[in-house]
Amino acid sequence: MHKYFFYFIALLFANNLQAQEIREYMDLQIHPNMHMVYSFFGDGLEYFDEEDAPKLKWKHQLKNVNYANFYEDNKGVRIFVTGALTVETIKSKKKARKTILAQIEFINKFAEEHSDKFVVAKTPEEVRHYVKNTDKTIFVHSIEGSKKVINSAEDAQFWADQGVAFVTLIHLVDSKSGGAAIKPGMMPALLNFKGVFKKKKKRGLKDHGREVIKWLSAAGIMTDLTHMSDQTRKDALTFMEEHNIPPIVTHDLFKPIQNHPRGIEREDILRIYKLGGFMSLPISGESLKPRKSEEEYKNLIDSLTQAECYCEGSIHTYKLTYEALQEFIEENVMEFYADKDTLINFDNLSEQDKVRFSIGFQSDFNGWLNHSRPVYGKDGCYEVHPDSTYEAIELEGMPHPGLIESHWNWLEKENVDISPVKRASERFLQVWEELRANKDRFKEEHTEELSSKK
């Protein structure tokens, strides 16, 4: 009798836990406040007259596309992480704080003025509350680039108090924290000119970068490894392994397909997931264009192209990279369990266990890039067939956040398993919750290290 009673209680607890988990589309970085740093982006998050909608195209690199109309009741994104940043040449700590704070307050004010539709969540508990008890679109704050912004443990705590969930340690230029990834092309090289000529070993994680990771962890803020040079990322992972700090990656690439410094190699992807973190991919087909891919993927792309099933730079390119990353993670699921003698199949894992292997996404609208091109029509690869039915993303590409829903719809029609994307919102909250729960441990470790150095 007692045995069955305890079994019933355990089952009830497990079901309740699963019911509390969220499965929402979560954009891990978008820039509706970019106009506050670069004025030519227009006025940012504002409404347009539906009868006089702006004419937007997938090539929109320096044009505002972050209209409030596209954020409201967006079926492709429920949670937007809004990334605040500074100019790469920032030299003043005071100005850096003022710039970031103004962007955060801009989002807060917008949500207050439109509180029937929007809300800002400053903790993982608040995100869960708003998901379960409202229909509102949820904003979460982040900072892209810690240069001059995180200079002490007090700075980190200040941003935690503002509700910042994560900080991307390094952005586009080498800094006191470490080396930045230099993407192929003239502009990235010119922007980070000094970094081009530095030796690989001199572009690793610096002592200040290690300090910032400690400060962030002690404040309950996640560290985002995106934009790091290969050596800096490896050093950061080693440091985070030593201190058991889970990392996240919000918008880097899969090196077997995108073989350049923004690509992450297989070994480091496993390290990220073993630490309890997770990876995310840009949603833009332009950002995910293959470069010096491994032979396996070159052959796959060739065969798809010959069959007229692959239009480079379109949603096809996202599908290619996403499925490759998903396959790699799920095929290596045994690496994450201590009992290697027992065959562990991803499909046999519980829904709760699968959350550990989530794959997020990031749109980066107004982040100095274009998005996916159309598959069909003038800017696409193939002619439009009058008897065929298409998703908007196939005909228009991705000109603005309002078409993210079409992105997911097309993938589902192609029988692509996008459940890891929806699980990523839960994994994001779990990692954030874990860091916040362990703040005291990180503070104690940091204090002990400082004492030992003295």
Q: What is the pLDDT of residues 283-311, one digit of tens each?
A: 999 999 999 999 999 999 999 999 999 99
Rounded distance between C-alpha atoms, residue 300 and residue 281, angstroms? 20
405 and 257 both lie in a single domain: yes
Residue 111 lies in a domain: yes
> Are residues 336 and 449 both part of a single domain?
yes
Distance separating alpha carbons of residues 170 and 157, to the nearest angstrom? 19
- Tell whether 123 and 251 lie within a shared domain: no
Long-range contacts of residues 262-266, Cβ cutoff 8 Å, at least 24 apart: 262/181, 262/183, 262/227, 264/233, 265/230, 266/328
pLDDT of residue 247: 98
**Which of 129, 144, 159 finishes a domain?**
144
Q: Give residue 8's pLDDT.
A: 45
215 in a domain, yes or no?
A: no
Q: Which of 136-150, 191-205, 278-292 has the lowest mean pLDDT?
A: 191-205
Q: Specify whether 120 is located in the same domain as 266.
A: no
pLDDT above 70 for 263: yes
Q: Are 250 and 194 in contact (CB under 8 A)?
A: no
Query: Are residues 420 and 278 part of one domain?
Result: yes
Give domain status of residue 229, yes or no: no
| Domain identity same for 250 and 140 | no
| Residues 266 and 378 both lie in one domain | yes
**At which residue do the structure tokens 């505002």 appear?**
64
Residue type for position 309 = C
Judge if 311 and 439 occupy the same domain: yes
Find the mean pLDDT for residues 145-171: 98
Instruction: Please indicate, yes or no, if residue 337 is contained in any of the structural domains.
Output: yes
pLDDT band at 339 (very low <50, low <70, confident <90, very high): low
> Residue 36: which pLDDT band, with cuts at 50, 70 and 90?
very high
Query: Beta-carbon neighbour count of residue 137 at 10 Å?
Result: 20
Range of the domain at 111: 30-144
150 lies in some domain: no
Domain stops at, among 101, 120, 144:
144
Q: Do the domain assignments include residue 210?
A: no
- Choice among 100-104, 242-246, 334-338 with the minimum mean pLDDT: 334-338
110 and 250 part of one domain: no
User: What pLDDT is attached to residue 454?
Assistant: 59
Number of domains in the chain: 2
Residue 185 to residue 168: CA distance in whole angstroms: 22
For helices 153-161 and 207-218, angle between their N-to-C axes, nearest 10 degrees: 40
Q: Rounded CA gap, 392 and 374, in Å?
A: 9
Indicate whether 377 pLDDT > 90: yes
Which of 39-43, 209-213, 235-239 bottoms out in mean pLDDT, i.e. has the lowest? Answer: 39-43
Give mean pLDDT, residues 363-384. Answer: 96
DSSP state of 159: H
Residue 277 and residue 414 in one domain = yes
DSSP letters for 294-306: -HHHHHHHHHHHH
Share of the chain above pLDDT 70, in %: 93
CA distances from 423 to 22, 161, 382, 418 (A): 7, 27, 34, 9
Cα torsion through 318, 319, 321, 327, rounded to 10? 150
From 82, 110, 144, the end of a domain falls on 144
pLDDT score at 112: 98
**Same domain, yes or no, for 255 and 133?**
no
Domain for residue 13, yes or no? no
Give the residues across from 359 on adjacent strands. Answer: 279
Picking from 2-16, 120-134, 238-252, 389-403, which range would have the lowest pLDDT averaged per residue? 2-16
Q: Is residue 135 part of a domain?
A: yes
